[in-house]
């Protein structure tokens, strides 16, 4: 079996991740921050160790500025709803995932003004267009770090500089890059970084978080019990508790911490180099297959470990089905929760077939996938896929 759906969730997870989940459920067991006994402390140690590992990974000086969420979506919602008020203006791009686009479209109905800067057909962003979109009432710039559809990387450093000139915070959706591409929030000048735990960070689903630069104040998305300031009926204002109401997903965070430590030992640079090599191999191989259309920059240096393509004469869903049923290759097909991105690429509404590579994928697997695509392309060109669909003719 070949798993090329790491942009949806990574698989497999390191053995240490499984062990950490099991250790928490089996041994540590307590509720962090709710009691002072040793099992509660053991659970709190797990959470704080993971928080520290993430702070180191992203070069955040103070671990308390990393708050845990259920996923990147919750982190993005926390940032967007925590910051934007009716009358504010916000700038984003046309390749955003619905985890950014849907909250923004909803905020628009509440009176927030939204400018969506169009990227070109490869998903590349023109900085001048962003510069022109910024205006005195602009309150926030939000972009993805790497497209979940075609892998196109966003020039985050230059965008952070634009935001700084404008005196507004810059929110980055690092769902596809955290754990796969080095991220230094200091060097990049990012003010808010939303990440998921279950993709390149190799943790379990139900984990994610938000880095909040010192000085950036957000209204909490949720309020509730934190284990702290218990005599008060109002939400504490100190981090991380201000944004961590309710019992955390400790089992998940235990696994996430183990995933981050696994990656830190390898080094994110090594992960990036590995994925780039696989992307380059795939792009070179696929470009030679007649009937395959590649999308995105088609340059491994300009994208993360995500590639998107279509096969002439076949629907993406058909290619995905054949890849799964006949070749044991797991791909994701369709719109990838990013209709705006597909409109940008010109692939709306049918979408594309997406391969997303991870640390555990190999060059041999990419070779096998290319062979499979060669067969599928011939098959589709001969109309075999169309008749299998039951079309007349």
Partner 1 sequence: MDGLISFFASHYAIRAEVVLKRNGLAAHLIPGPKELSPNCGVALRFDYAQRENVLTVLAAKSVQIDGVHFYRPRTDEWNVRQAESR
Q: Would residue 119 show up in a list of annotated catalytic residues for this protein?
A: no
- Other Cβ atoms less than 10 A from the Cβ of 217: the count is 10
36: contact with partner 1 by CB under 8 A: yes
> Min. distance of Cβ 17 from partner 1 in angstroms?
21
In the three-class reduction of DSSP (H, G, I as helix; E, B as strand; rest coil), residue 253 is classed as helix
Site stretch for partner 1 (CB under 8 A), options 78-86, 104-112, 222-230, 366-374:
222-230
Interacting span for partner 1 (CB under 8 A) from 6-14, 59-67, 81-89, 301-309? 59-67
The helix/strand/coil state of 111 is coil
Torsion of CA 244, 54, 59, 199, to 10 degrees: -110
- Of 45 and 106, CB closest to partner 1: 45
Q: Is 61 in the site for partner 1 (CB under 8 A)?
A: yes
**285 φ, ψ to 5°?**
-70, -45
Task: Choose, by CB under 8 A, the member of 11, 35, 223, 378 that binds partner 1.
Answer: 35
Residue 103 or 236 having the CB closest to partner 1? 236
**192 binds partner 1, rule: CB under 8 A:** no
Residue 47 engages partner 1 in binding (rule: CB under 8 A): yes
Q: Which stretch binds partner 1 (CB under 8 A): 43-51, 156-164, 307-315, 359-367?
A: 43-51
- Chain center to CA of 148: 7
51 interacts with partner 1 by CB under 8 A: yes
Structure token pair of residue 188: 């990049």
Which is nearer to partner 1, 50 or 300 (by Cβ)?
Answer: 50
Q: Which is nearer to partner 1, 44 or 323 (CB)?
A: 44
Q: Does 44 bind partner 1 (CB under 8 A)?
A: yes
Which one is catalytic: 39, 158, 337, 388?
337
Count of residues interacting with partner 1 (CB under 8 A): 30
- Cα–Cα dist 34/116, whole Å: 43
112-144 as b/e: b if 16+ CB within 10 A? bbebbbebeebbbbeeeebeebbeeebbbbbbb
**Range list of H helices, 26-112:** 38-58, 72-83, 98-109
Give dist(CA 99, CA 319) in Å, integer: 26
Binding mask 224-263 for partner 1 (x = CB under 8 A): --xxxxxx----x-xxxx----------------------
Q: Environment class of residue 338 by beta-carbon count within 10 Å: exposed (0-12), middle (13-18) or buried (19+)?
A: buried
Question: Could you give the residue numbers annotated as active site?
Answer: 337
Binding site for partner 1 (CB under 8 A): 32-37, 40-41, 44-45, 47-49, 51-52, 61-64, 226-231, 236, 238-241
């Amino acid at each position: 079996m070949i798993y090329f759906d790491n942009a949806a969730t990574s698989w497999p997870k390191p053995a240490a991740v499984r062990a950490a989940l099991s250790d928490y459920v089996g041994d540590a067991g307590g509720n962090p921050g709710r009691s002072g006994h040793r099992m509660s402390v053991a659970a709190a140690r797990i959470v704080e160790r993971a928080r520290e590992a993430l702070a180191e990974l992203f070069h955040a000086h103070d671990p308390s500025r990393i708050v845990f969420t259920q996923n990147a979506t919750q982190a993005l919602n926390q940032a967007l709803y925590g910051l934007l008020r009716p009358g504010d203006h916000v700038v984003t791009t046309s390749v955003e995932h619905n985890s950014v686009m849907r909250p923004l479209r909803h905020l628009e109905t509440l009176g927030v003004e939204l400018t969506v800067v169009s990227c070109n057909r490869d998903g590349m962003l023109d900085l001048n267009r962003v510069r022109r979109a910024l205006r005195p009432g602009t309150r926030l710039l939000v972009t993805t770090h790497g497209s979940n559809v075609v892998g196109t990387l966003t020039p985050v450093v230059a965008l952070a500089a634009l935001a700084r000139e404008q005196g507004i915070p810059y929110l980055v959706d690092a769902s596809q890059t955290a754990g796969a591409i080095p991220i230094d929030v200091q060097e990049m000048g990012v003010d808010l970084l939303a990440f998921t735990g279950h993709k390149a960070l190799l943790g379990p689903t139900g984990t994610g978080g938000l880095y909040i630069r010192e000085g950036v104040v957000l209204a909490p998305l949720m309020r509730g019990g934190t284990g702290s300031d218990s005599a008060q009926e109002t939400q504490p204002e100190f981090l991380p508790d201000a944004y961590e109401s309710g019992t955390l997903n400790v089992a998940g965070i235990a696994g996430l911490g183990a995933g981050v430590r696994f990656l830190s030992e390898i080094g994110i640079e090594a992960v990036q180099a590995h994925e780039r090599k696989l992307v380059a191999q795939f792009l070179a191989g696929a470009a030679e297959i007649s009937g395959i259309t590649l999308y995105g920059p088609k340059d491994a240096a300009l994208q993360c470990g995500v590639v998107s393509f279509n096969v002439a004469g076949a629907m993406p869903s058909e290619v995905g089905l054949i890849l799964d049923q006949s070749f044991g290759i797991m791909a994701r097909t369709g719109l990838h929760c990013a209709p705006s991105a597909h409109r940008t690429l010109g692939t709306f509404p049918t979408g594309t077939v997406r391969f997303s590579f991870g640390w555990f994928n190999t060059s041999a697997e990419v070779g096998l996938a290319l062979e499979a695509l060669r067969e599928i392309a011939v098959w589709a060109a001969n109309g075999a896929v169309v008749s299998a669909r039951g079309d007349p003719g």
